[in-house]
A and B are shown apart, each in its own frame.
Chain A
């Protein structure tokens, strides 16, 4: 009976998924309750901001610059057909601030910083450092997990803002310096069409939400990993895959809530 096997497998998968979701929610609650230590001993969190934020700077800035430059080239090609190449600034700025900035920096953040956090916590678990901490009456969730979570939550919005700024600079380089769109109308049209509350604040809200989601997934996968070499590698892969899917899904939900059209 292959059908019975199939149904059994689906049932087990669904059951397992719900079980893990509940465990992750309980883990997140405990971590938030234990977060006091991440703020009382703030240098722990600062160290994590260094690892997740400062070390991701180069990849974020360079990819932002190139995404902006590609937007500039492609946008110009389409806009000049309708004789409105002056709106290039609007196109580049809105695309980056609303969508590409938070989403691409979220994806890069998940693969650059999230995977590192998972691997680190997973290895600490595999080498029984977490159990050793418990033996010394140090809570590993407060001491190891919470600072990594808060470090990610602090770093992500700043990285997204830097990505957008670098991208707009890239669009400016290609549009104004290379192609020769008028500099004055590039900036003035951008300023008259990009709204502070509607576009920029919503973009920042998106990046904060993505930061929270990626950080939760990264620390949970690390903490929940099977304590073997294979288990840690599986957990790292799962972090990147799950975070990417969750970012794109959450982006759709947030966009639908924020930009319903007036």
Chain B
């Protein structure tokens, strides 16, 4: 059995097919994006997570430092428990503040970590105590409308 031009063409075809798959995975998908190394888990309780989703980014000063790995409902406190896996290279103080923020006006929601001044760092499995819930547009509007209405009544 000898090599033929046909083998060359099939080899070429398979190569560019696999190259297209790699292109889709790395350039189009997020496989080559920021990878989280030696991750450790932190949890935080939120009254309202809005439309936060699993795999949403966790950012500090705008840099992605981790991703949301799980979201559950806590029966005892009736709040949402968000588990994040953070990059092992980054440590945060005990009094770090976790907020649910929105990218742009109508973009996806992410968790922003505002760093505090405590000396001790959060260890794996710890819970972030200070949190701020997502801003729900409807609540904001109804608050505004009630304020306007009470202003009108006072005058």
The chain A residues found within 8 Å of chain B, CB to CB, are 43, 46-47, 49-50, 53-54, 57, 93, 97, 154-155, 157-159, 161-162, 164-165, 168, 187, 190-192, 194-196, 199-200, 204, 262
Contacts and interface: CB of A to CB of B under 8 A. Distances in A.
Given A46-B7, A49-B10, A97-B28, 10 more contacts: A43-B1, A43-B7, A54-B13, A57-B13, A157-B17, A162-B16, A164-B20, A164-B24, A195-B55, A196-B31
Given A50-B6, A192-B30, A194-B30, A158 B25 contact: no
Interface in B27-48: 27-31, 33
B77 to A, nearest CB: 24
Interface string B39-70: 00000000000000111000000000000000
9 contacts: A43-B7, A49-B10, A54-B12, A158-B17, A161-B24, A191-B29, A194-B29, A195-B29, A262-B54
A91 to B, nearest CB: 12
Contacts of B73: none
A161 B31 CA distance: 16
Given A54-B9, A165-B24, A158 B14 contact: yes
Interface residues of B, number: 25
A212 to B, nearest CB: 17
Interface of B: 1, 6-7, 9-10, 12-14, 16-18, 20-21, 23-25, 27-31, 33, 53-55
Contact of B30 (A54, A155, A162, A191): A191
B21 A204 contact: yes
A158 B28 contact: no
A199 B31 CA distance: 11
B20 A162 contact: yes
A54 B4 CA distance: 15
Interface centre among A97, A155, A165, A262 (most CB of B within 10 A): A165
Most buried by B among A97, A161, A195: A161
Contact of B9 (A50, A93, A155, A159): A50
Q: Considering residues B16, B28, B54, which has the most beta carbons from chain A within 10 angstroms of its beta carbon? A: B28
Nearest to A83: B105
A200 B9 CA distance: 26
B29 A165 contact: no
Nearest to A165: B20
B30 A53 contact: no
A161 B14 CA distance: 11
A203 to B, nearest CB: 8
B28 A190 contact: yes
Contacts of A157: 17
